[in-house]
Amino acid sequence: MQITIDKNSGFCFGVVFAISVAEEELKKSGKLYCLGDIVHNNKEVDRLNQIGLQIITPEELKNIHDCKVLIRAHGEPPETYRIAVENNIELIDASCPVVLKLQNRIRKGFDDMKKTNGQIVIYGKEGHAEVNGLLGQTLNHAIIVNSEDDINKIDLSKPVFFYSQTTQSTEGFQKIISIIRQRIEANKIPIRFVANDTVCRQVSNRGPQLRKFAADHEVIIFVSGKKSANGIYLYKVCLKVNAKTYMISDKDELNSTWFKNVKSVGICGATSTPMWLMEDVAEEIHTIVKS
């Protein structure tokens, strides 16, 4: 049996940077707080926890003082920085540069929209860490949409500046744009509608790459944390091409029946999936096939 790990899968730049920053600090001090899971992969979070990374919630942040706290790649709202100053917390900011750029664009867009009584609309997953950070740039006034039904939240008689969470799909973003434009035309009330394509291309480009990868193998094992929005999206991309696509978060979830009479297995994952975990899965498949 041929087992191939997708060379394009694994951590994106933002996650690599955040983890390297955490590891460097842990080597020096042996302990570091992180505001939320550093990455949406429980196995990688467990690995870092074992060397001293302690995950805390926004509520817990309010009650700690005189320490160091890592801001992960997803970024944070202004409120987090204010609390850090008040509590004498040293923030180690590992926000992804792509996310920081988007935060700045939304903050500027919000200032512009206030002058025209307009709206900031963000295509993303409500409650997601990155979206919370983006929402904070608008004093929590932005409208979050993730489906056609959510468009009803928008007042299409007022100007709209539209953005996307960086890890959303390009196809989904363009679909929502198309529906908004159709509704504006149907209303026959001319308004200013500006769609800003802020999807991270390092993420969105993985869709086409994975379609080909999934088509090239009989069975696809997609490795991802269950909380990863990017993982769920990319898993569905593979499943649409290859019905024998299985999503797992660890090698213990492998099922030996998936590999009977199979000659080619492809292993891939999300931007939050560590390469070492995909390699562990490959080794386990080798063991299953030999037994």
Question: Annotated active-site positions, please?
Answer: 130
CA-closest candidate to residue 17, choices 68, 114, 129, 92: 92
3-state secondary structure of 139: coil
* 95 alpha-carbon distance from chain centroid: 12
Neighbours of 273 (CB within 10 A): 30
Q: Which residue type is seen at 194? A: V
CA-closest candidate to residue 251, choices 202, 284, 289: 284
Residues 6+ apart with CB under 8 A from 63: none
Residues 6+ apart with CB under 8 A from 225: 39, 40, 41, 42, 43, 231, 249, 270, 272, 273
Q: What are phi and psi of 166, to 5 degrees?
A: -65, -25
Q: What are phi and psi of 103, to 5 degrees?
A: -55, -45
Q: What are phi and psi of 220, to 5 degrees?
A: -120, 130
Neighbours of 24 (CB within 10 A): 11
The answer to whether the beta carbons of residues 231 and 185 sit under 8 Å apart is no
Residues 6+ apart with CB under 8 A from 50: none
| Structure-token pair, residue 261 | 């009479």
Which residues share a beta bridge with 165?
none
| Structure-token pair, residue 210 | 């994975």
